[in-house]
Amino acid sequence: MKVVFERPEALQNVPFTYCAGCTHGIIHRMVAEAIDSLGIREKTIGVSPVGCAVFAYDFFNCDVVAAAHGRAPAVATGIKRSHPDKYLFTYQGDGDLAAIGTAEIVHAAARGERITVIFVNNAIYGMTGGQMAPTTLLGQKTDTTPYGRDARANGLPIRVCELLQSLDGVAYIERVSTHDPKHVLQAQKAIKKAFQYQVEDKGFTLIELLSTCPSNWGMTPVESLKWLEENMLPYYKLGVYKDIG
Ligand SMILES: Cc1ncc(C[n+]2csc(CCOP(=O)(O)OP(=O)(O)O)c2C)c(N)n1
Ligand code: SF4
């Protein structure tokens, strides 16, 4: 029988521990497929965050190092510089990357570190129970903004791709989404391209993936996909923010 769908070699044969309908699982699969398709699994090292993806080392079938909250780009920098023949990726949520880790990501990008950042933006702190993140939308209700995020009281959401695109060390930045199969296919291509640029030693690469958190958004998985499409896409415009080609 012809096999049309199977587990990527770069994923362990274990069930994910993510909530039902959470798109972290889809993103793991896309990263693993990119690694497999480039044949770099034996030379790839991941850096896991603090957040729901903290157990990424249980899911990826490659070496994975755990970093303190927000510090994945610094850890990846150290490993890449001491092992320049390896391919480094960080896997970070929006709390990890855009709150406590803001300085880390800005300076890693400015230095043009040869790493690939997988940035999962679900507009909330997932693991800790649904507090406001820097990416939480105006009006969005969270545990710490029960009446909706207010610009005056809580500030405005940060657009990470737009923030980093001006830095000269950046080779490639794209924002993609996970809310339907068409966008998942586009996301898959972007992730592969980011790793490809690292193989070609072009510079810093980052893919932002708009993602869901049904548990903390208080929605079903299907409602979450729709909410992402209707509320996140207008503010977080998809597209390539920088590509040195
Ligand atoms: C230094 C430090 N500060 C705070 C925390 C608590 N903490 C754990 S995960 C997290 C936020 C997770 O949100 P995000 O990065 O968006 O990832 P998600 O869980 O949504 O995937 C926070 C604040 C911590 N573990 N370490
Ligand atoms: S809390 Fe949210 S981000 Fe975390 S696994 Fe559950 S749905 Fe996913």
pLDDT higher than 90, residue 230 = yes
Tell me, what's the pLDDT at 224?
98
Cβ(213) to ligand 2 under 6 A? Answer: yes
**Domain region containing 229:** 24-243
Residue 69 CB coordination number (10 Å): 16
pTM, to two decimals: 0.98
Residue 228 CA: distances (Å) to CA of 126, 180, 203, 212, 218: 15, 10, 30, 7, 13
Tell me, what's the pLDDT at 180?
98
Closest atom of ligand 2 to CA, residue 214 = 7
Tell me, what's the pLDDT at 207?
99
Q: How far apart are CA 210 and CA 5, in angstroms?
A: 24
User: Which tens digits make up the pLDDT trace of 189-224?
Assistant: 999 999 999 999 999 999 999 999 999 999 999 999
Q: How far apart are CA 29 and CA 184, in angstroms?
A: 11
Among protein residues, the one whose CA lies closest to atom 6 of ligand 2: 19
CA triple 106-164-143, angle to 5 deg: 75
pLDDT higher than 90, residue 1 = no
Do the domain assignments include residue 19? no
Do the domain assignments include residue 172? yes
Closest atom of ligand 2 to CA, residue 215 = 7
Q: What is the CATH number of the domain that holds 120?
A: 3.40.50.970
pLDDT higher than 90, residue 22 = yes
Do the domain assignments include residue 11? no
Query: How many separate domains does the chain show?
Result: 1
Tell me, what's the pLDDT at 38?
98
Do the domain assignments include residue 69? yes
Among protein residues, the one whose CA lies closest to atom 21 of ligand 1: 52
For the chain, what percentages of helix, strand and coil (3-state, to nearest 5) are there? 40, 20, 40
- Which protein residues touch ligand 1 with a CB less than 6 Å away? 50-53, 69, 93-96, 100, 120, 122, 125-128, 133, 213
Tell me, what's the pLDDT at 41?
98
User: Which tens digits make up the pLDDT trace of 108-127?
Assistant: 999 999 999 999 999 999 99
Which 8-state DSSP code applies to residue 114?
Answer: S
Do the domain assignments include residue 5? no
Tell me, what's the pLDDT at 170?
98
Cβ(18) to ligand 2 under 6 A? Answer: yes
Top pLDDT among 152 and 3 is at 152
Do the domain assignments include residue 4? no
